[in-house]
Structure 1
Amino acid sequence: MTQSTEIPERRTQAERTAGTQAKLLDAAIDCLVELGFAKTSTQEIARRAGVSRGAQLHHFPTKESLVTAAVGHLVDRRLAEILETKPDPERGVEVLSEAFSGPMFYAALELWVAARTDPALHEAMLPLERKVTEAIMGGATAIMGSRMSTESIELSVELARGLAVSALLRTPDADTALRTRLLPAWEQKVMEW
């Protein structure tokens, strides 16, 4: 048996920091989606991330800073995925409605609802909400191009968000049926404006 004499490459401090933060952000999203904001604790996030409580506090000193950073991180990833989609104004509304689904939407929804009655979270959410709105508008504009007015895109964003919230109380089959029926009509109307 021969032993390898290769020395593992050492990671830089910046790489270790980025790795720890990524673990914490991913764990925070998992907690928000699985447990909701009220039951999410920084201790549980640190445990799931496999880092010490001290490391968690070093990177994110408050629950609000950690969960808003986590949703912001997920928004960046989701926007990159959306922008990788070939611009197709014919699928614009469909792509936009898909943006309001999955872990990003559920984590953000948890924070929106909790921010209504939590002043510290509300304050922390304001810059994140601006970032989310800019990202969604930028992505929607990139996908839909000049075929839709700014108002049509804004209206579509609000309709997509509302459709996603109401989908929480529908079965998947009922949601698919409703979307199949409404998306073409919605697309036609906003393209006319």
Structure 2
Amino acid sequence: MTQNTERGPRTQAQRSAVTRQKLLDAAIALLVEVGYGRTSTQEITRRAGISRGAQLHQFPTKESLVVAAVEHLMEKRLTEILGAQPDPDLGIETLVDAFSGPLFYAALELWVAARTDPGLREAMIPLERKVGDALRLGSAEVMGERMSVAAIDLSIELARGLAVSALFRTPESDSELRERLLPVWKEMVMK
């Protein structure tokens, strides 16, 4: 039995939480590195150092594992953003920044794969609702009364689109485009 020298033996719930975390971290890393199509549960378990049986106990399907990984990362990222208490004057920039990094790339992999994979699409629908709700809530918390609900929804869609199109721009041209678009965007949506 694994010992925690400070508190004695770990409980089954603690061991399960550690196993789950290792699987989620490995799934995100693989989604970002090799994409959904080349991410397999066998490779996730190998990378996590977890047995196949332990993986199946936690997540019976690849879909359930990768969706849970993206959901976990989304919750962590939202907590980080809101914990930083972003400046409401930079609310649009904060939203745009939310569509970057490992969370965005992992989610993008799942969005594209879900287009042709009915099982993944079904698994993604509740997550997408949760992500949308979290983005709306987080944006409303940052922006306060400065943006209407419709303006927040429009801004979320614009931020997502800007992030997708950025995949085909250099960092310099992306920065230049943002500098030109963000003032116009703010003028359109802020009260």
1:7 is displaced (CA, Å) by 8.0
Q: How does 1:140-155 map to 2 (within 5 A)?
A: 140-155=139-154
Q: How does 1:124-143 map to 2 (within 5 A)?
A: 124-143=123-142
Q: How does 1:23-62 map to 2 (within 5 A)?
A: 23-62=22-61
Q: Conserved in 2, the CA contact under 8 Å of 1:29 and 1:71?
A: yes
Cα offsets for 1:118-144 (capped at 9, x unmatched):
000010001100110011111101100
Q: Conserved in 2, the CA contact under 8 Å of 1:85 and 1:143?
A: no
Whose Rg is larger? 1
Go from structure 1 to structure 2 and tell me whether the alpha carbon gap of 1:153 and 1:11 turns closer, same or farther (over 3 Å shift): same
Go from structure 1 to structure 2 and tell me whether the alpha carbon gap of 1:7 and 1:49 turns closer, same or farther (over 3 Å shift): closer
Go from structure 1 to structure 2 and tell me whether the alpha carbon gap of 1:7 and 1:112 turns closer, same or farther (over 3 Å shift): closer
1:85 is displaced (CA, Å) by 2.7
The secondary structure found in structure 2 opposite 1:38 is: coil
Structure 2 runs not aligned, ≥5 long: none
User: 2: distance between equivalents of 1:7 and 1:80?
Assistant: 28
Q: Does 1:172 align with 2:161?
A: no
User: 2: distance between equivalents of 1:101 and 1:14?
Assistant: 33
Cα offsets for 1:129-175 (capped at 9, x unmatched):
01100111111011001111001100000000000000001111111
Structure 1 runs not aligned, ≥5 long: 1-5
Query: Aligned-pair RMSD on alpha carbons?
Result: 1.3
Q: Partner of 1:183 in structure 2?
A: 182
Q: Partner of 2:65 in structure 1?
A: 66
Percentage of matched positions with identical amino acids = 66
Q: Partner of 2:118 in structure 1?
A: 119
| Number of equivalent positions | 187
User: 2: distance between equivalents of 1:87 and 1:110?
Assistant: 28
User: 1: distance between equivalents of 2:57 and 2:12?
Assistant: 14
Q: Which runs of 4+ in 1 moved over 2 A?
A: 6-9
Look up the equivalent residue of 1:21 and give its one-letter code: R
TM-score by length of 2: 0.95
Q: Partner of 2:18 in structure 1?
A: 19
